[in-house]
Amino acid sequence: MNRFKKLGLVAISTLVLVSCKKSGLNEGGTPKNIAASGNFSCGTLDAQFGGASTPTIDLSLGLPLEFAATFNETVSWKIVLRGQSSTAVKTISGTSSVLNASNATWIGNHDELYFFESGEKVSADLIISGKAGICSSDTVTIVNARNFKTVTPTFMLINGAASTFNSDFEGSGSTINNFHTQFNIGGSTLRMVQDDVIRAPEGQYYLRIIGKSAEQNGFFVGGLQHRKNPAASTYFLPVTWTDPEKIYLNVYVRGIDNLPSLNGQQAKAYATLNFECHEDDRGDNSTAANCDYYAKKPTGTGTDHFCPSSEDSWVFKIPVQHTGWKLFSCKYSDLLPSEDFANGGFGNRKLEPQKVCRVQLGMVSSPPFNLVSIDADFACFTYGAPFDPKK
Amino acid sequence: MRTFAKKVLILAAMTAGTMMVSNAQVVYWNGLGRALVTGSYLGGNILNQYEDNSTTPATITQPKDLTSARKSTDGYTIFDLGVNAQPNETLRASATLRLKNSFGGFYGDGSQFLFRQLKLDGIISKRVKYEIGDIDLELSKYTLHNFSEIYNDYESDILAQRRSVVEYENFNFGNKWRLQGAHLETSLRFNQGIEKLGLRFFATRNRRYVASTVPDRFMVGGRAEIFQSRMLQIGGNYIYIFDAAGTVSSPALTNQNQVITGDLKFTHFTDKVDYSVYGEAGASTNKYSYKLVDSSSSVSSNGGFYDVGVSAKYKPLLLKLYVNYRNVDANFFSSGAQTRRINDYGTVDLFSQLQNAPMALDPSLSRSSVGMGGATLMDYVTDQDLRNLNLRNSLMQYNPAYNNITPYGQATPNRKGLTIGGSIGNNEKVVKADFAVDLMSQAVADTAGASERKYTGIKGGAMLNAHKLLRFEKDIILTVGVRNENTQRSGVSPVDLKSTLIDLGLTVEVVKNLDLLGGAKMITAKGHEIIYARDEYNRIDATKSFYNMDLSQSQALVSAGARYRFSKNTYFTVNWVNQAVKFKDASMSMSNYHINQIFFNYTMIF
């Protein structure tokens, strides 16, 4: 019994230690919410860069926009930033009598779905606890939005640092045709520009796959595939990304509202997006001589590292059943093996993310033979945690 | 000579395989290396002399144990090398070769070299996938399912890690049974009506004959599944396990067990909530035939079941709620689903003999005997030989303290009632938790004149990723799980049994890749239950004596240690383990004991 008591004490002590927080106080040790008194007077909110007032900000430099204001008492406040075009939102909050670079900065991130866009005006509204309405406002124009595409030790778009044909579908010359392969078996793969009805979560453009499968089974409609060239000596993911439990696939997918029409027929809500990674299990180039799949293809069929008949495909299935844009993430270790035994379903059955030589975004119709459509944007890989644009 | 011939044969096979490689597409390797050492110490009242000190003449005595071992050291080194040769894209041959060196068996003495696993698999016409050899099979929970022996959903990492060693040794991969045979699988797509039809068929030999008396035992079965769309799936399962009487000249008792079930799942998807209706129903026939020289007899029983439920899943919070109702007939028997993976009263490896008497002379003094409470929590997670690998044709004995509501899994016969449950979160969130409440009873009374037993069970647990809450880079994970059962029967042959199982766990990553681990598993059982013997026809035999089990016992399994992770699949761990068994009844307190153990384990998976 003593042993149980000791164990219980240790457990409780540990719980207390790791969860200890002063009640009623925020992390800075100051009270959580202080409302303005009747004597409160609101200072002027000023957007600044490097200590100087600025009407514009280049967030791609990695340096923050600062806000300045002075109050005659300590209050709880928040600054709500709204993109006038993108409808992106970011809220900064705190409790103090002064706003400055130590407590009111913005690095270009956002709280909700949409990313801030280059060239748009952003309104900054200062709201004080206990005081109705907006206390003070300022407006700043984003010359360049924060660059979420920069390759870091924990983030990359499908094609790394490439500014063209990458999975944000932005950039000059970045058209769908620049992706290595398009599968349009009855479908079309398009680069769509946003409009008032459908906005891209990030940037101006997004991917649309639309059509009715022309396959015998009516299942696979079309999509995009990116491959490493046969001569390439490296694969898609960094060599340090070795743990399938820590690698995440992320993509924004739009739901079943406002489904488009094609040839007078409206698409049905039966689409599934398959975000696939194909592994070069053997670590070699596939040829007609060593790969049964290519041996049965017409002469001259382009080959690469992947042999569909004897190497693994791993699939992140996203059935589209929601409304609006939504960010989907999946751990590499949770990917499903390909159901097609002869196409990615008969490899060594080992998760080897360092050997990913193809990445594919494909759409299937379930039930088959339906006109279906998927909009997708910002497909990316992260390491350590799912993609979080709030950070 | 035979060993030499075996080695030559294996070497020849490997050479042939290597030659095949020169023309083959690929050979790849996988496997596991492990070194494991334990040092154990037995202590407690069980070893000491005991005398009743009451004023009446002493009637309870226990002599000092002079012969049982107090200490034990054990361990081994194993290397499982998996060779996978794929000569073409329709065939793959996989073999796992094991080299084992038991602790103390150095310099080749006591080394073993054997085939642990052999399988051929491949694809026929790009449509049909086949496996032959050592295969892992599973169907539904009522047909072929290797259920967990105890509630361990929120078991601590340190004990789960220990359990994983035992499960690996016994091929307990998920809820599949390791069998020898063949398995075919295909799926067909359609132009209209339904999206896909999945078909599976398997055939295995579950038991090899013993000359003249014990026939071969085979199993055939399969599943057909119609995937109409992601909203509707309908399936059917069939399994037939039978003794082939003609394989021996004088078969005594033979058995044929057939189970057929149908299942359905309908899901309605919305933006935020998915609603599902699901269920399975089926029937079984079980026949025993007894043949003597000039006479024969047979006993048959038929039973059925149905299990239906509804669920709702609120996707933004990963919150799921469900309600199930099931009714499993007392005569429903499914060898593939009701066979237990642990023999609660089987022979244990560690300190099996107690109280001066070799087990062979007095099995009741074995540490895992009924009178001693059976296998302990420590045996469950450490004893590699306590596990059962064979499908049984009758219900096995079980310890009601560990699981009295579903001792034979979800397919436990003679049960009806509601299960209400819910879950929230997943392993990636700050909190993951779930609970289930069983409000069940027996379908029919098992004793003449008695009423049905009432079962109430509550189980649940939570995992807290404290590091996500505190925004620490290193892991701090707490787990807690509780399972409480209450069995009641009033009137004739009363029953009153309460048991509570608690799991606690803590994992703290103190520096990169170095974890401190702690865990505890505690069970208390108090009350009275009646365990009936079953005859050779799997019937409760009212003429045989039953076991009036009076339980007043508590066990505590506590472990603490450290683990260094060289990589995701390679680690070294050192644990201290303590198992205490206490009988609260004064007349049994002389049997209290404890085992202290130090455990070293290096494991590498590649």
Question: Would B69 be classed as within a structural domain?
Answer: no
pLDDT digits (tens, 9 = 90+) for A334-352: 999 998 887 888 888 889 9
CA-based radius of gyration for chain A:
26
For residue B348, the distance in angstroms to the closest alpha carbon of chain A comes to 26
Q: Give the pair of three-digit tokens for residue B109.
A: 């003495």
Does any CB of chain A come closer than 8 Å to the CB of residue B2? Answer: no
| Chain B residues near residue A281 by CB distance under 8 angstroms | 26, 28
- The answer to whether position B379 is within a domain reads yes
Using CA atoms, how far residue B425 sits from B430, B461, B465, B473, in Å, is: 8, 12, 11, 20
Average pLDDT over all residues of chain B:
88
Provide the mean pLDDT of chain A: 85
Q: Are residues A383 and A241 in contact, defined by beta-carbon separation less than 8 angstroms?
A: yes
Q: Tens digits of per-residue pLDDT, A55-66?
A: 999 998 889 999
Q: Do the beta carbons of residue A364 and residue A219 sit within 8 Å? A: yes
Q: Check if the beta carbon of residue A242 is closer than 8 Å to that of residue A350.
A: no
For chain B, the distance separating the N- and C-terminal CA atoms, rounded to the nearest angstrom, is 34
Are residues B189 and A219, on separate chains, in Cβ contact within 8 Å?
Answer: yes
The answer to whether A269 touches A323, Cβ cutoff 8 Å, is no
Q: CA of B195: which chain A residue's CA is closest? A: A367
Nearest to A203 by CA among A151, A161, A123, A148: A148
**Could you tell me if B558 lies within 8 Å of chain A, comparing CB atoms?**
yes
Nearest Cα residue to B421 out of B255, B268, B586, B310: B310
- What phi and psi values does residue B435 have, to the nearest 5 degrees? -150, 160
* Residues of A in Cβ contact (< 8 Å) with B520: 7
Residue B426 counted as domain residue: yes
C-alpha distances out from residue A254 to A130, A257, A318, A324, A331, Å: 38, 8, 11, 5, 20
- B 61-90 → A contacts, CB under 8 A: 84, 86, 88-89
Residue of B nearest to A307 (CA): B89
Q: Which residues pair with B249 in a beta bridge?
A: none
Closest CA to B387 of B347, B336, B438, B429: B347
B561: which 2 tokens? Answer: 């240690």
> Is residue B396 a part of any domain in this protein?
yes
Stretch among B51-65, B257-271, B307-321, B558-572 having the lowest mean pLDDT? B51-65
What lies within 8 Å, CB to CB, of A9 at 6+ separation is none
Q: Which two tokens stand for residue B26?
A: 């690929």
More confident: A254 or A177: A254
Are B423 and B320 spatial neighbours (Cβ–Cβ below 8 Å)? yes
Using the predicted structure, report yes or no on whether residue A185 has a pLDDT greater than 50.
yes
Burial (Cβ within 10 Å: 0-12, 13-18, ≥19) of residue A9: exposed
Contact A310 B129 (CB under 8 A): no
Q: Do B26 and A281 touch (CB under 8 A)?
A: yes
A290/B25 touch (CB, cutoff 8 Å), yes or no: yes
> Among partner residues A290, A331, A348, which is closest to B28 by beta-carbon distance?
A348
pLDDT 10s digits, B115-174: 999 999 999 888 899 999 999 999 999 999 999 989 999 999 999 999 999 999 999 999
Q: Tell me whether residues A3 and B230 touch, CB distance under 8 A.
A: no
H or E stretch at A103: none
Evaluate whether A252 touches A201 at the Cβ level (below 8 Å): yes
CA A21 to chain B, closest CA, distance in angstroms equals 10
Torsion angles phi and psi, residue A334, rounded to 5? -95, 5
List chain A residues with CB under 8 Å of B272. Answer: 322
The DSSP string of B306-327 is: EEEEEEEEEGGGTEEEEEEEEE
From chain B, pick out residues whose CB is under 8 angstroms from the CB of A3.
556, 558, 578, 580
Q: What's the pLDDT at B268?
A: 93
The pLDDT, as a whole number, for residue A272 is: 94
Residue B230: pLDDT band (50, 70, 90) is confident
Q: How far apart are CA B219 and CA B183, in angstroms?
A: 11
Q: Which chain A residues are within 8 Å of B478, Cβ to Cβ?
A: 14-15
- Give the total number of structural domains in chain B: 1
* DSSP conformational letter for A296: T
Query: Rounded to a whole number, what is the distance in Å from the CA of A44 to chain B's nearest CA?
Result: 34
Tokens of A143: 């010359």
Find the mean pLDDT for residues A276-288: 87
Q: What is the CB-side half-sphere exposure of residue B349 using CA atoms within 13 A?
A: 17
Q: Is residue B28 one of the residues assigned to a domain?
A: no
Q: What is the mean pLDDT of residues B198-221?
A: 89
d(CA B597, CA B577): 5
Instruction: Calculate how close chain A gets to B172, using CA atoms only, in Å.
Output: 19
pLDDT more than 70, % of chain B? 89
pLDDT beyond 90 at B181: yes
Task: Measure the CA–CA gap between A115 and A47, rounded to whole angstroms.
Answer: 20
What is the predicted ipTM?
A: 0.78
CA B500 from chain centre, in angstroms, equals: 20
B30 touches chain A (CB under 8 A): yes
Is B8 contained in some domain? no
User: Which of B22, B23, B26 to probe by mutation at the A interface, max A CB count within 10 Å?
Assistant: B26
- Distance (Å) from the alpha carbon of B189 to chain A's nearest alpha carbon: 6
What digits encode the pLDDT tens for the residues B269-283? 888 899 999 999 999
* Interface test mutation site (partner A, options B89, B188, B565, max chain A beta carbons within 10 A): B89
* Pairwise CB contact (< 8 Å): B84 & A19: no
Residue type, B337: A
The set of residues, in sequence order, having a beta carbon less than 8 Å from that of B507 and lying 6+ positions away, is: B156, B157, B158, B475, B476, B477, B515, B516, B517, B518
Q: Do A270 and B229 touch (CB under 8 A)?
A: yes
> Would you state the pLDDT for residue B14?
52
Yes or no, beta carbons of A217 and B190 under 8 Å apart: yes
- Is B230 within 8 Å of A319 when comparing Cβ atoms? yes
Residues facing residue A47 across a β-bridge: A67
Residue B169 confidence (pLDDT): 95
Q: Find the length of chain A.
A: 391
CB of B463 within 8 Å of a chain A CB? The answer is no
B19: three-class secondary structure by DSSP: helix
Q: What is the pLDDT of residues A200-227, one digit of tens each?
A: 999 889 999 999 998 877 888 999 888 8
| Contact (CB<8Å) B271/A321 | yes
A3, pLDDT greater than 70: no
Closest approach of B522 to chain A, Cα-based (Å)? 10
Tell me how far the alpha carbon of residue B221 is from its chain's centroid: 22
pLDDT of residue B550: 83
Contact residues, chain A, for B123 at CB < 8 Å: 341-342, 346
In this complex, do B191 and A309 lie within 8 Å of one another by their Cβ atoms?
no
For residues B154 and B164, give the distance between their C-alpha atoms in angstroms, rounded to a whole number: 14
Domain that holds residue B287: 127-605
Q: How many CB atoms lie within 10 A of CB B462?
A: 17
Contacts 24+ apart (CB under 8 A), B109-112: none
Does residue B143 belong to any structural domain of this protein?
yes
Radius of gyration of chain B (CA): 26
Tokens of B196: 């896909």
Interface contact flag, B89 A290, Cβ < 8 Å: no
Q: Closest by alpha carbon to B489, among B553, B523, B442, B522?
A: B442
What's the average model confidence in pLDDT over B480-507?
95
Q: Rounded to an integer, what distance in angstroms lies between the CA atom of residue A64 and that of residue A49?
A: 7
For the sheet with A220-227, list strands across it: A181-184, A220-227, A356-365, A271-279, A313-319, A336-337
> Distance (Å, rounded) from C-alpha B606 to C-alpha B602?
13
* Predicted local distance difference test score (pLDDT) of residue B471: 86
On whether the CB atoms of residues A215 and A327 are closer than 8 A, the answer is no
Q: How far is A275 from chain B (nearest CA, A)?
A: 18
What pLDDT does residue A21 have? Answer: 38
H-assigned helices in A20-110? none
Does residue B377 belong to any structural domain of this protein? yes
The beta-carbon neighbor of A218 closest among B84, B191, B228 is B191
Q: Are B272 and B314 in contact (CB under 8 A)?
A: yes
Which residue in chain A has the smallest CA separation from B274? A321
pLDDT at B108: 55
Interface of B with A in 481-500 (CB under 8 A): none
Query: Considering only CB atoms, which residues of chain A are within 8 Å of chain B?
Result: 3-4, 7, 10-11, 14-15, 18-19, 216-219, 242-245, 255, 270, 272, 281-282, 290-293, 309-310, 319, 321-323, 331, 339, 341-342, 345-346, 348, 350, 366-369, 386
Q: Check: CB of residue B544 under 8 Å from CB of residue B530.
A: no
**Residue B376 predicted with pLDDT over 70:** yes
CA atoms within 13 A on the CB side of B491: 10
Residue A250's contacts (CB-CB under 8 Å, 6 or more residues apart) are A327, A328, A329, A378, A379, A380, A381, A382, A386, A387
The rounded distance, in Å, linking the Cα atoms of B341 and B444 is: 26
Q: Which of A122-136, A308-322, B205-219 has the lowest mean pLDDT?
A: B205-219
- Which pLDDT score, from 0 to 100, does residue B5 have? 45
Lowest mean pLDDT among A109-118, A248-257, B339-348, B541-550: B541-550
> Model confidence at B350, in pLDDT bands (50, 70, 90)?
confident
CB atoms within 10 A of CB B39: 14
Report the residue of chain B nearest A367, measured CA to CA. B229
Instruction: Report the CATH number at residue B322.
Output: 2.40.170
Higher pLDDT, B290 or B49: B290
Check pLDDT > 60 for residue B2.
Answer: no
